[in-house]
Structure 1
């Protein structure tokens, strides 16, 4: 595993963490304080905005989890990977690819998501 893979796996740990205090710790360890996340459906800025965004997704898709579906590809301070949102039964209901830029400390500065498959009803 490389540092980019460790970071992205921690990113998914934050998305899947339902304990608010633990999720905030993961966000702080993964994201720069002034980080920015954007995809076609939502956006979050800073630790508070990213936490709020994750909380909304968890409420809408209770008991679903995100998982990485590809290796993490990266060079320098840039990375990319693909993911799936899966039901408790393991069915992928959404898929996407994300592209990120890291800050000088190796945390996510920006992440831009593209949806390859949207969940029904969105």
Structure 2
């Protein structure tokens, strides 16, 4: 498993985490303090705002789970990868891809999200 594969698995685990304390701890480990996250639906800055956004996603889409698509491309400190959102064992309801950039400490500092199937 590459360094980026591990990062993406941790990223999706955080997006699936329903326990607020565990999610906040995961965000603190994986994301830079001033992380920027932007997709067609939301744009937030900072760990607290990202934590709140993920909580809102859980409320809006209860029972749905994020899973990895495939690592499309990675170089230097950035990766672009696909992800799926849906009920386990069923075809995904949403497919998207994110571009994530890491800082010098290896934490994610920027995520740009795109939706391919909604």
TM-score category by the smaller chain?
over 0.9
Q: What's the counterpart of residue 84 of structure 1?
A: 84
What are the residue-to-residue correspondences of 1:1-122 with 2, within 5 Å? 1-71=1-71, 73-118=73-118
The unaligned stretches of length 5 or more in structure 2 are: none
Q: Deviations over 1:30-84 (max 9, x none)?
A: 1100000000011221110100000000001111100111125311111110001
Separation in 1, partners of 2:60, 2:89: 17
Number of residue pairs matched?
118
Question: Which aligned runs of 4 or more in structure 1 are off by greater than 6 angstroms?
Answer: none
Contact 1:4 1:79 in 2 (8 A): yes
SS, match of residue 18 in structure 2: coil
Structure 1 vs Structure 2 CA RMSD = 1.2
Unaligned runs of 5+ in 1: none
SS of the residue 1:95 aligns to: strand
Contact 1:43 / 1:53 at 8 angstroms: preserved in 2? no
Contact 1:8 1:72 survives alignment (8 Å): no
Give the Cα separation in 2 of the matches to 1:72 and 1:31: 21
Name which of structure 1's ranges 11-20 and 91-100 shifts more when overlaid on structure 2.
91-100
**3-state SS of paired residue (2:70):** coil
Q: Residue 33 of structure 1: SS of its match in structure 2?
A: strand
